């Protein structure tokens, strides 16, 4: 089943999306929807994950369903009323998820809409130099917009690389010519591969 995705600018944590003004408190059925996001850094190739959580949903398990904005039903967790969303981010720009929480009440179906935008970026390493000297330690510093420097990792088969602080590295090339360094963002068990970084390596004069 195809799940359509909503739009939302990414904010870490829970955000109340919608409140229905016509929900009577005495009925105690879900009248608010919260989005709880799992991450605040989303890049091309990553999977955005979030939970849709209805408020006041106790005792309403059999009376709550979800659907996307096209009317297709979305499967919720079997053990509670939460909906887990996993959205593959395959291109840059703004994506959107949106849909409805449907509550079966004595007056019929109450539809609670939810929607959120999130921004997907293409991580690009920024390096201040593009050359190195063979056989000696070359200090370099790498930054990626929106990424904590501590999450940046480098490797290469043609150089010895040591971390020297957040976003700082010591690189000792083994040979002259073109040096290709692989870069990635490692956030816990989640890894985002980046474009390779190229340097020109010269012999020490």
What pLDDT score does 19 carry? 38
* Cβ neighbours around 85 below 10 Å, total: 21
pLDDT at site 155 = 94
CATH 2.60.40.1080 domain extents, the chain: 126-202
CB 204 within 8 A of CB 175: no
Its CATH architecture, for the domain 126-202, is Sandwich (2.60)
Q: Are 64 and 101 in contact (CB under 8 A)?
A: yes
For the chain, 205 residues long, give each residue's pLDDT as a single digit of tens. Answer: 444 443 333 333 444 444 333 333 345 656 677 777 766 567 887 777 777 877 766 655 667 777 777 777 777 665 677 777 777 788 878 877 788 888 877 778 888 887 777 778 878 888 988 999 999 999 999 998 778 888 899 999 999 999 998 889 999 999 999 999 999 988 777 788 888 999 999 998 7
Predicted local confidence at residue 141, as pLDDT: 93
pLDDT of residue 66: 78
pLDDT of residue 116: 78
Output the pLDDT for position 79: 63
CA distances from residue 94 to 7, 153, 157 in whole angstroms, order as listed:
7, 27, 37
CA 4 to CA 85: how far, in whole Å? 10
pLDDT of residue 134: 95
Q: What is the pLDDT of residue 1?
A: 41
Can you give the pLDDT at residue 13? Answer: 43
User: Would you tell me which CATH number, out of the four given (2.60.40, 1.10.20, 1.10.3470, 2.40.30), belongs to the domain 13-120?
Assistant: 2.60.40
Phi and psi angles of residue 136, each rounded to the nearest 5 degrees, phi first: -125, 165
- In terms of phi and psi (left: phi > 0; alpha: psi -120 to 50; beta: otherwise), the region of 59 is left
């Amino acid at each position: 089943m195809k799940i359509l995705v909503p739009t939302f600018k990414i904010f870490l944590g829970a955000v109340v999306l919608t409140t229905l003004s016509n929900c009577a408190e005495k009925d105690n059925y879900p009248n608010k929807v919260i989005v709880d996001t799992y991450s605040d850094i989303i890049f091309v190739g990553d999977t955005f994950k979030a939970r849709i959580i209805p408020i006041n949903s106790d005792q309403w398990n059999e009376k709550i369903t979800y659907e996307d904005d096209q009317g297709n039903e979305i499967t919720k967790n079997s053990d509670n009323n939460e909906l887990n969303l996993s959205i593959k981010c395959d291109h840059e720009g703004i994506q959107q998820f949106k849909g409805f929480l449907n509550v079966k009440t004595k007056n019929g179906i109450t539809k609670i809409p939810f929607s959120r935008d999130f921004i997907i970026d293409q991580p690009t390493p920024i390096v201040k130099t593009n050359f190195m000297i063979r056989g000696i330690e070359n200090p370099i510093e790498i930054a990626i917009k929106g990424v904590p420097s501590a999450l940046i990792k480098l490797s290469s088969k043609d150089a010895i690389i040591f971390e020297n602080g957040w976003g700082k590295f010591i690189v000792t090339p083994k040979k002259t010519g073109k040096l290709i360094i692989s870069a990635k963002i490692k956030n816990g068990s989640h890894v985002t591969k980046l474009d390779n970084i190229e340097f020109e390596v010269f012999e020490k004069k």
